[in-house]
Amino acid sequence: MVLHVRAVLLPDDEVRDLWLVGDRVTFEPQVGAETIVDGGFVLPGLVDAHCHPGIAPGGGPVETLELARELAIKDRDTGVLAIRDAGSPLPYAELDDDPEMPRLIRAGQHIAAPRRYLRGIAAETDAADLPATVSAQAKAGNGWVKLVGDWIDRDAGDLTPSWDAAALTAAVEAAHAAGARAAVHAFSEEGVEIMVRAGVDSVEHGTGLSLDLIDEMARRGTAFVPTMINILTFGDIAAQAEPKFPGYAAHMRALRDRNAEVVRAAYEAGVPIYVGTDAGGGIAHGEAAEEMMLLHTRAGMPAEAVLSAASWGARAWLGLPGLVEGGLADLVVYETDPRRDLSVVRTPRRIVLKGRVLR
């Protein structure tokens, strides 16, 4: 079936006609096409650039491929038509070609130092074996690896880096040699500095970023996925940890409290920012619109910049062609202009994935 869409194609202001022929976009008129949209504002499909369909609600690995699929479909049904899975304890390459699934860009399993991450989630390794583990997880994914760059050190009673600068630099080099990009979890000031200077491709969370380091990220083109929904949970994490680790609890609250300022500074410095919810475990799926609103209302990013971070900009970063000639037939339609009122992203009027109408 050939489908026809007529709407304002963002980020431009022009009403355009486009046709979906299978899973491809064309601007060449197609005889006999069915018009599914006539009016409104259309975006290339949204992206959740930090998502974990392989982690079950409440924590731990999902037990079946079907549950991973169900979780990803919750995101899909809000307009998220591509997911960068930032680490999964369950390999699920079988879902890559599932026509019901959002497009999947996977990072293999989290890579963490021994006993320095959530139980049952990560491939744990010491510094000596880190490059080999990275190479193995690059093969398990399809373009990314995920490193846990810092976590609570129970002996120190606070966040500390998982590995030293030399080990992390070797890990990033191993990822690049394997044809993968490196995404790195980072909460702490010391940890995120090591990671940026090691040449990672994206910083996840990044609560400890300094102004100097933000400038370095902008210079290098290092991406930033702030996961602001996740950072709002730091108060609960601190409350649970405080009886045994009061220094860590105070640190987590301080990182939470400066988060909006960090994200705003990164945006103003020109750091590439992308929308990611960290869905999985304690964060619900289907919250990309709320992450977009936090970037807008708390961090002060303009609506159009947020839309790029969730749509055309994020897709280009991940190598997914947008609504261009020969591009992928993924789109979301809104009744009114989301640049004027970003909250309309909560209520898509039409969602089309891989050339098939979902709603």
- Mean pLDDT over 12-24 rounds to 96
User: Is 46-317 in CATH node 2.40.40.20?
Assistant: no
Query: For residue 35, how many other CB atoms are within 10 A of its CB?
Result: 11
| Domain locations in the chain as residue ranges | 2-43+322-357, 46-317
* DSSP codes joined into one string, 74-124: HHHTTTEEEEEE---SS--GGGTT-TTSPEEEE--SEEE-TT-S-TTTSEE
pLDDT digits (tens, 9 = 90+) for 25-53: 999 999 999 999 999 999 999 999 999 99
pLDDT tens digits for 143-156? 999 999 999 999 99
Q: Tell me the Ramachandran region of residue 159: left when phi exceeds 0, alpha when psi lies from -120 to 50, beta otherwise.
A: beta
What is the amino acid identity at position 166? A
In sequence order, what are the beta bridge partners of 224? 203, 273
* Average predicted confidence (pLDDT) for the chain: 97
Residue appearing with tokens 């995120």: 192
Percent helix, strand and coil across the chain, each to the nearest 5: 35, 25, 40
For the chain, give the percent of residues with pLDDT over 70. Answer: 100
Which structure tokens are listed for 310? 């969730």
pLDDT at 272 over 90: yes
Strands 123-124 and 158-161: unpaired
Whether pTM > 0.95 for this model: the answer is: yes
The answer to whether 2-43+322-357 and 46-317 have equal CATH topology is no
Tokens of 122: 């990560």
Query: Which ranges in 178-311 belong to alpha helices (H)?
Result: 189-198, 211-220, 228-231, 234-241, 246-257, 259-269, 288-297, 303-310
> Can you tell me the mean pLDDT for 13-22?
96
Residue 13 has pLDDT above 90, yes or no: no
pLDDT tens digits along 194-252: 999 999 999 999 999 999 999 999 999 999 999 999 999 999 999 999 999 999 999 99
Is the model's pLDDT at 1 over the cut of 90?
no
Nearest to 158 by CA among 183, 185, 191: 191
The highest-level CATH class for domain 2-43+322-357 is: mainly beta
